[in-house]
Structure formats: C-alpha cells, structure tokens
Amino acid sequence: GIQVEQSPPDLILQEGANSTLRCNFSDSVNNLQWFHQNPWGQLINLFYIPSGTKQNGRLSATTVATERYSLLYISSSQTTDSGVYFCAGAYSGGGADGLTFGKGTHLIIQP
Amino acid sequence: EPEVTQTPSHQVTQMGQEVILRCVPISNHLYFYWYRQILGQKVEFLVSFYNNEISEKSEIFDDQFSVERPDGSNFTLKIRSTKLEDSAMYFCAGSMGRRDTEAFFGQGTRLTVV
C-alpha cells in the first residue's frame, strides 16, 4: 500500500495567521482527502481532491498528483481551527480498499 | 445534507464482554467501512463491505471482529470478547464507489474497555 507522510507534525500559531500543511504520498493516488479532527474526535470532511485546486471559505487545497503531494492552506486562522488535520489517500493501482491515513498535523491556534 | 450516524457515541465495557457498534450509512452509498483510531495515533482501516459481504480486511480485523448489514440500513461492527487494547475510537464510513470516490465518515464511537 501507499505511505502517507504529513508535515509539520505540530504547529502553533496566533489567531489571524496563515498556515500551510503538507501531505506527501509514496505512489499515485486516485483518492486524496483532507479531514479535520475536532477536539471531540469527530472527523470532518474538508476536501476530496485527487488533483487540482479547491477552495471553501478560508480553506483551500491543492494536489499535484504527478509530484505526489497535496497542500492544505488555512488563512486568517481562528481558534476553532484547532485540532488535528489528516490527509488520506487510496492507491490508484489497486490494493487496499480503504484509505491510508497520515499521522496528522496537530494545529493549535492561540487567541 | 445526509450524514453517517453512529451509536453510541461512547461505550464503556468490561474486558471479555461483547460489544456491537452501530452505523447508519448514507442511503445511496454502496461501500461501507470500519476504521479504528487508538488514542493519539492515526486512523487505520479495518474492513470494507460491499454487496453484503466483506470485500477486504486488514490484519487488525481478526476472528474477534465481525461485520454485518442485517436490514439494509444499519451496518454493525461486533467485537466478541473485548480486550484492553480494543479501546479506541471506531469510525464508520461509506462511499458510492470503491477507492476512487469520496468517503464520508461518521462522528465515531469511543470504546473504552476496562
């Protein structure tokens, strides 16, 4: 199966700052998703983005499939953005049905 | 907007007891999954289910685990004899297609084995 590496593992920012989270994957994917895990443990779908760029409010994501990475941008951070951000992918060449998750980026937004 | 619903949100059980975690997937989804997240770790795939049978299972999904979709709406994960190391958050997910379509996750069931 594929390997998914996320960076940085931890990030502490002041409210209002911008951030970029990165996800590298070891092989080509036909599914790449970003999730936010809130303090209650819920996984919130942010983006389904196997390629290209999408935006949703203050969040945007870009996946460059040929170079095997994806970026999540958070602008004008708010304290409610705190939590763990996971990317997860599925290998396009077959193999596991399920998504392979990275270890996550733990984001803390301080007031 | 339709969502995946899991019950209970939190369950505490004695070691050795059986537990059943329940999920109601989005109605037009065809593929169903269970994932596990041990506290502080990443989310791990357990099993996928399609057309009323297991499609794939990970090495974590041993004989203690079973899944079924008894009535066409609910999707359950049963752990026959819980162990301390089964304590984790369990997520149900569903998708319309196989691995190349977006998966939608439930809010999770936090299982604590004491």
DSSP string, A27-65: S-EEEEEEEEE-TT--EEEEEE-SSEEEEETTEEEEEEG
Side by side, the strands of the sheet bearing A69-74 are: A4-7, A19-25, A69-74, A59-64, A52-56
Q: What angle do CA A81, A83, A86 make, to 5 degrees?
A: 105
Which is nearest to A110 in space by CA: A17, A1, A10, A27?
Answer: A17
pLDDT tens-digit series, residues B62-110: 999 999 998 878 999 999 999 999 999 999 999 998 888 999 999 999 9
How far is B102 from A48, CA to CA, in rounded Å? 6
Give residue ranges of A with CB < 8 Å to any B CB. 30-31, 33, 35, 40-43, 45, 48, 50, 86, 88, 90-92, 96-104
pLDDT tens-digit series, residues A29-45: 889 999 999 888 999 99
Instruction: Inspect the interface and report whether the beta carbons of A48 and B35 lie closer than 8 Å.
Output: no
Bigger pLDDT: B60 vs A94 = B60
Q: Can you give the pLDDT at residue A28?
A: 85
Examine the pLDDT at B2 and tell me if it is beyond 90. Answer: no
Instruction: Inspect the interface and report whether the beta carbons of A41 and B110 lie closer than 8 Å.
Output: yes
Calculate how close chain A gets to B16, using CA atoms only, in Å. 25
